[in-house]
A and B are shown apart, each in its own frame.
Chain A
């Protein structure tokens, strides 16, 4: 085994906590923010006590837990209201006992970005989300086939009008460019031929329907091989390509590790993903336990998306909030679930944050804490227990909001604010927590 290969192995080797680098509140916060949507100080402390192995395991769904609550889904779908579907997703992000599943569904919603603006079918949008819940931690093969046969997707990318003799390339092109391979790894011929293979993949009565008479069953040439391929064969041919493993690895690394993965990291995770037979849950079990995941390079290297900010802040403060209101707030910040701006998905990382969105973000938290978005519960003051000394209260606010890890300047500024008149009024606890949320570290994921 060469040097490069050994390096790759060590990137994904299990991280070993030590006295100098323990599994502490910072690490637990990192794990909860990345693999879920954050957690309260109490949850973070529990994770630290349980140790890193149990902490990572606790994020995965239990084996006997159904991926989708059918009764809940039926209730959501019966109303035919897209806002209701959105609220359901926000509620899951707020309260799910399997945070990683919700995180993955949110990731796939961004990756296979489908908008109700065109689909105009809340039921189909809800079923697509449920499909992500069911397949998002299984094999990529099944997930991609699920996407290719998903009624909302078929409508979104016009495959419902893709018929023999009149191929519509929209789905085939995005399958290659955005979903599974990446630019520069296929030809225009491949796009055209794959479009033919997906002819007749339609929707009937709200379900996937193979319209055999509208399917082009002629010979096609795909990636230089010929055959009478149908859609299943295209999906299989795509996932088996080396470029697809790298595409998926890059996608996972950008979400869980660092917004700009190195070639070495992509190679290492692509290898791992193939070894795990393209099983996403098994690949993540390795990644989330790895040295790479817990490295200084990964820690706070991402910018929170609006969902990370809105849902994450509510969870971090251990507050209660109305999902409909949170979903509206996310929309104002640019991330209205079920309506991504394009098939390319949402903006990412630093694109999220401008002067305008920073103001909106901080104003959201102020409104939340001041009770201007409905009653803030539990009361901000109760989060501080019996703490009275300004220095203790500043320290508590830092622990609650940023795992106690802020710059020296920020820490001192917060202590001064805690000792000043602004934090002495009846809303003093809310003022102090809001100030902690204004620290730059609070925007990092």
Chain B
């Protein structure tokens, strides 16, 4: 993205501008928590979590190309070895992961790392429970309740206490995923910038102002909750629109759902809006049947969007302050099924990208001769990966993950 050169139009709003903007908006005063204007004083570190929904096949993403057991377990799906891109220790990336491969091999300034066999003890093979466990960062979670929060939501709560108005953002989906569910922090979701503004019957500032007193009313639990939401929404729409007005991407993103969503993340990161945690997802990984072509297409979409995103951040000098985690709720059964697909499994590799990653290897590669009920044994707890990311981002990891969580994974980020 190109930073605007005209000194009269600063890249981000100054604290004073935001405050005066807040004062301009009659809506803001209606929100009980107020529209707390907050702009960071220096560069802040951001986390972008990209979730591969449905259970990504780890063994066909980071392929043990020289392992004879793999060949035996995957008589048909093992075809993925052809064209795969070698990394280290007999492993190769799926052939469509060209950008990731390049970022992984950059000499002296590696931008991508992989951590092998990430999971949690006593793996659950239900999509929903396993996803909930990853999102809440709680392997003992039984059922998501009204008060269940997510790991990024709790991290956002720490920042919200420090005054950030929008510490976290769900991108691409209009729903806020459990990972971002917070106790007190405001976590909006965003699909397209232009939708994020009040457009009344008469599209004028006067039309917007006339509505303001109606929005925040409402008594009682549910109506009060909606009223607060409405008042914040109208105020935030105005704030966001102004802070993004001057941005252009430095690279062309692929015209895919994920490409558009990561571009939106890059815009918000570059705008200096103060948002620190982002959640994006890509669905379709539940490949029970006829897996090879579907998985290859997903890998290509993932790689194209990630490659553009990293290049865009690098051009904006924001890569050093951004880390991306790519994970899934579980890997898949090591043996292929009879439908040329794979069923739900356990541990799988995760990717970490960004300026701060350190050369691996990280974690313990899967041992296909020592399986847990047909699945890869988890040897690195996902919370230790979370811990490393949170600590790097300057968040109190123990407060987010709990005192009994395993220690942050050392040597992953510096």
A residues in contact (CB < 8 Å) with B: 117, 158, 161, 163, 166, 168-170, 173, 177, 183-184, 260, 300-303, 332-334, 341-344, 347, 350-360, 362-363, 366-367, 369-370, 406-410, 413-414, 416-417, 420-422, 425, 427, 430-431, 434-436, 438-441, 443-444
Given contacts A161-B339, A359-B195, A440-B227, A431 and B218 within 8 Å (CB-CB):
no
B210:A420 contact, CB within 8 angstroms: yes
A360 in contact with B210 (CB, 8 Å): no
Could you say which residues of chain B place their CB within 8 Å of the CB of A421? 206, 210
The answer on a CB contact under 8 Å between B223 and A356 is: no
Note all chain B residues with C-beta closer than 8 A to A435.
210-211, 214
Between A and B, 30 residue pairs with Cβ closer than 8 Å are: A177-B128, A184-B142, A303-B226, A334-B173, A341-B283, A350-B225, A354-B187, A355-B196, A355-B229, A355-B236, A356-B189, A356-B191, A356-B233, A357-B189, A358-B233, A359-B196, A359-B197, A359-B234, A409-B216, A409-B217, A413-B214, A422-B206, A431-B200, A434-B200, A434-B211, A438-B215, A440-B215, A440-B223, A441-B226, A444-B223
Interface residues of B (CB under 8 A from A): 53, 126-129, 142-143, 146, 170, 173-176, 186-191, 195-202, 206-207, 210-211, 213-220, 222-227, 229-230, 232-234, 236-237, 283-284, 288-289, 337-339, 343
Q: Are B202 and A425 in contact (CB under 8 A)?
A: yes
Given A406-B217, A422-B206, do A354 and B176 touch, yes or no (CB 8 Å)?
yes
A414 (CB) vs chain B CBs: closest residue = B214
A147 to B285, CA, bound (A): 24
Chain A residues with CB under 8 Å of B206's CB are 421-422
**Known contacts A161-B339, A440-B227, A444-B223, A352 near B175 by CB under 8 Å:** yes
Contacts of B195 in A (CB 8 A): 332, 356, 359-360, 363
Q: Give the complex CA separation of A360 and B213 in angstroms.
A: 19
The answer to whether A359 and B175 touch across the interface, beta carbons within 8 angstroms, is no
Give the distance to chain A from B162, nearest Cβ to Cβ, in Å: 21
Which of B190, B207, B222, B227 makes the CB contact (< 8 A) with A303? B222
Interchain nearest-CB distance for B298 vs A (Å): 13
CA separation between A183 and B144, bound complex, in Å?
Answer: 12
Q: How far is the CA of A265 from the CA of B26 in the complex (A)?
A: 44
Complex: A443 Cα to B338 Cα, angstroms: 48
In the complex the two chains form, is B173's CB within 8 Å of A416's CB? no
Q: Is the CB of B223 within 8 A of A441?
A: yes
A-B contacts besides A158-B339, A260-B146, 11 pairs, CB < 8 Å = A332-B195, A350-B225, A353-B229, A354-B174, A354-B175, A357-B189, A358-B233, A360-B174, A434-B201, A435-B210, A441-B226
Asked whether B218 lies within 8 Å of A407 as measured between CB atoms, the reply is yes
In contact, B223 and A300 (Cβ under 8 angstroms)? yes
Contact present for B126 and A173 (CB under 8 Å) = yes
Question: From A353, which residue of chain B is reached at the shortest CB distance?
Answer: B229
Chain B interface mostly helix, strand, loop or mixed? loop
A260 to B201, CA, bound (A): 36
Q: Give B226's nearest chain A residue, CB to CB.
A: A440
Question: Which A residues lie within 8 Å of B127 (CB)?
Answer: 342-344
Taking a contact as CB atoms under 8 Å apart, the answer to whether B219 and A359 are in contact is no
CA distance A5 to B213 in the complex (A): 48
Q: Which residues of B contact A166 (CB under 8 A)?
A: 337-339
Q: Give every chain A residue within 8 A of B143 (Cβ-Cβ).
A: 183
CA distance A427 to B206 in the complex (A): 14
Question: Is A333 touching B200 in the complex (CB atoms < 8 A)?
Answer: no
Q: Check B339–A333 contact: CB distance below 8 A.
A: no
Residue of B nearest to A406 (CB): B217
> Which are the 4 A-B pairs with shortest beta-carbon distances?
A440-B218, A355-B233, A410-B217, A166-B338
B217 partner, pick from A173, A332, A360, A440, beta carbons under 8 A: A440
State the CA gap A334–B225 with chains docked (Å): 20
A158-B289, A300-B222, A439-B217 known; A356 vs B199 contact (CB < 8 Å): no
Q: Tell me, rounded to whole Å, the shortest Cβ–Cβ distance linking B243 to chain A.
A: 15
Given A158-B288, A168-B337, A354-B175, A438-B191 contact (CB < 8 Å): no
Closest-CB distance, A444 to chain B (whole angstroms) = 6
Cβ-defined contact, A359 with B198, below 8 A: yes
Most buried by A among B175, B200, B337: B200
How distant is the Cα of A168 from the Cα of B188 in the complex, in angstroms? 39
Contacts of A184 in B (CB 8 A): 142
Is A351 a contact partner of B175 (Cβ separation < 8 A)? yes
Determine the chain B residues whose CB is within 8 A of the CB of A169 once the complex forms.
Answer: 343
State whether B189 touches A363 (Cβ < 8 A). no
Q: Is the CB of B190 within 8 A of A356?
A: yes
Nearest A residue (CB) for B212: A413
Which of A168, A420, A434, A438 contacts B339 (CB under 8 A)?
A168
CB nearest to B236 among chain A residues: A355
Inside 8 A of A343's CB, which chain B residues have their CB?
A: 127
- Among residues of B, the one whose C-beta sits closest to the C-beta of A410 is B217
**Residue of A whose beta carbon sits closest to that of B294:** A118
User: Distance in Å from the Cβ of B176 to the closest Cβ of chain A?
Assistant: 6
A439 near B288: Cβ-Cβ < 8 Å? no
From B175, B197, B219, B343, A334 is in contact (CB under 8 Å) with B175
Instruction: Kindly list chain B residues whose C-beta atoms are within 8 Å of the C-beta of A431.
Output: 200-202, 207, 210
Q: Give the distance to chain B from A393, nearest Cβ to Cβ, in Å.
A: 14
Contact of B223 among A158, A177, A407 (CB under 8 A): A407
Q: How far is it, in angstroms, between the C-alpha of A170 and the C-alpha of B344 when the chains are bound?
A: 9
A residues in contact with B53, CB < 8 Å: 342
Please tell me if the beta carbons of A407 and B219 are within 8 angstroms of each other in the complex. Answer: yes
Residues from chain A with a CB closer than 8 A to the CB of B283 are 341-342
Q: Which of A183, A342, A362, A420 is the one whose CB lies under 8 Å from B129?
A: A183
